[in-house]
Amino acid sequence: MRTLVAIPVYNEQKYVNRVLCRVREFADNVLVIDDGSTDDTPCLLGKHRVEVIRHAENRGYGRSLQDAFRWAMVDGYDWVITMDCDEQHEPAAIPRFIEAARADAHDVISGSRYLDQEQSGDRPPEDRRAINKQITEEINRRLGFELTDSFCGFKAYRVDALRRLSLDEDGYAFPLQFWVQAAAHRLRVSEIPVRLIYNDPNRSFGGPLDVPESRLNHYRRALHCELRRCADMLPASALNGELIGACCR
């Protein structure tokens, strides 16, 4: 089973050396997607035995994941594990994702910071936890999942399953598009617990998304847009209830 660990980065000079040194202890194949960093991150990446995709300008978290998926498809990987580079995801958890993937029972193995309260670790900012909870509940209600954490970026994806999806959400709303398409294509999903770590509770999402109400509305619009796009592949229950805003595409 060939597994790629893919790590989106943007201005992570504070963490990138430590994170990559630790990741290389658990993974032979590592891809870093540098999303137009303007600090010393690009120079630091050259010190590590990793593959690098470099965006000339910042294109968004979702775009970085799309690029990682394409790389994994073209290079013939069986699974791709995604994780962040801000020390909020523990590289030591990589073997648990690989073990779960080897069981060959699921297409998506999603980390959850809330599945095991004994591993919950730090307390998240109240607005982030509230938004995650509200969106996760709506996803479960509409799509029939039983998720506890719809926004965790620490995941393992079966590459053959990713080939069936048409992902084009470039920003932080990427998970909303992904979950709708995962349901539409009947992907098998499970969660495993990961530790909740918040090193920087004041970290910016950028512009209006730093306002919790605006961020929640943005996420819900993206979710509802994708529900409309995939309506003919989803059960009628997915479209029951309010759908806010016009479709964004």
pLDDT(62) > 70 = yes
**DSSP-H helix ranges across the chain:** 16-26, 41-45, 61-74, 94-102, 126-143, 159-162, 174-184, 212-229
8-55 residue pLDDT tens:
999 999 999 999 999 999 999 999 999 999 999 999 999 999 999 999
For residue 230, what are its two tokens? 């995939």
**pLDDT averaged over the chain?**
92
User: Which residues, other chains included, contact 208 with Cβ-Cβ below 8 Å and sequence gap of 6+?
Assistant: 214, 215, 218
Pairing of strands 79-82, 155-158: antiparallel
Would you state the pLDDT for residue 88?
87
User: Which residues, other chains included, contact 249 with Cβ-Cβ below 8 Å and sequence gap of 6+?
Assistant: 168, 225, 229
Domains of the chain, CATH where assigned: 3-203 (3.90.550.10)
Q: Say how far apart CA 196 and CA 204 lie, in whole Å.
A: 18
Average pLDDT over residues 202-226: 86
For residue 44, what are its two tokens? 């630091």
- The position carrying tokens 């048409």 is 166
State what percent of residues in the chain have pLDDT above 70. Answer: 93
177, 98 Cβ separation under 8 angstroms: no
pLDDT(248) > 60 = no
Average pLDDT over residues 121-131: 77
Would you state the pLDDT for residue 206?
75
For residues 205 and 70, the model is more confident at 70
Q: Say how far apart CA 85 and CA 73 lie, in whole Å.
A: 22
222, 176 Cβ separation under 8 angstroms: yes
Count other C-beta atoms under 10 Å from residue 96's C-beta: 16
Predicted TM-score of the model (pTM): 0.93
How many CA atoms, within 13 angstroms, populate the side-chain half-sphere of residue 74?
A: 6
Least confident of 101-115, 140-154, 169-183, 203-217: 203-217
111, 154 Cβ separation under 8 angstroms: yes
Would you state the pLDDT for residue 118?
56
143-171 residue pLDDT tens:
999 999 999 999 999 999 999 999 999 99
DSSP for 82-132, written as a single string: E--SSSSS-GGGHHHHHHHHHTT--SEEEEESSS-GGG--SPPPHHHHHHH
Average pLDDT over residues 213-242: 93
Q: Say how far apart CA 196 and CA 19 lie, in whole Å.
A: 16
